[in-house]
Amino acid sequence: MTKALVVIDVQNGILDVPGAKRPAVRHRFDEVRGRIARLVSEAREQGAPIVFVQHDGDPDHRLEKGTKGWEICGDLNRAPEDAVVGKTACDSFFGTELQSVLSGRGIDHLVIAGLMTQYCIDTTCRRAVSLGYNATLVADAHTTADSDALAVEQIVSHHNALLDGFDAGPAVLRVVPSSEIRFG
């Protein structure tokens, strides 16, 4: 089994949305980025491939391609050998090169972290499993902004419970904390 770390949409402008005004949302984003940075270091040390998925926003979008908001957060220490896959939808596989990048590197298990929980994380996790990849969602390494109905803590908790055990044929998704992630 060959694992890869897939980091989704951890970009400078990702939380420049109305639901991100509560200080706890920003604090959580900082904590999650720290965990993801540690996962990047661990993956690199263990020789696991790292794939950054980067949302390419339209003009005037907070993630407009080529702007400071679009850039991957610098504290994740992206290296030249890390793959970067651009996307324009919540599904990191839809209309992208992600599947060919993974197959070209012999990847069959994805370790997924990033933003936004109820959109790109949820959709990509489900799609990965339906495409036959085993996947691990890092329970404490994804986040989002508050919605009108739920706080970020509720959204993350709900999705962790909802996605754990999601399967399609022999492929399954597990949700585990970052402290239990191993790439070897």
Mean pLDDT of the chain: 96
Per residue in 99-155, pLDDT tens?
Answer: 999 999 999 999 999 999 999 999 999 999 999 999 999 999 999 999 999 999 999
Q: Which of 43, 63, 38 is CA-nearest to residue 3? A: 43
Helix (H, G, I), strand (E, B) or coil at 168: strand
Largest CA distance in the chain: 42
Per residue in 83-102, pLDDT tens?
Answer: 999 999 999 999 999 999 99
Q: What is the DSSP letter of 82?
A: S
Show the domains of the chain with their CATH numbers: 3-180 (3.40.50.850)
Helix (H, G, I), strand (E, B) or coil at 142: strand
* Orientation angle between helical segments 152-163 and 23-45, nearest 10 degrees: 40
Decide: pTM greater than 0.95. Answer: yes
**DSSP assignment string, 117-129:** IIIIIHHHHHHHH
Q: Determine the pLDDT at residue 90.
A: 97
Query: Starting from the edge strand earliest in sequence, which strands make up the sheet with 134-143, in order?
Result: 83-87, 50-55, 3-8, 109-115, 134-143, 171-176, 167-168
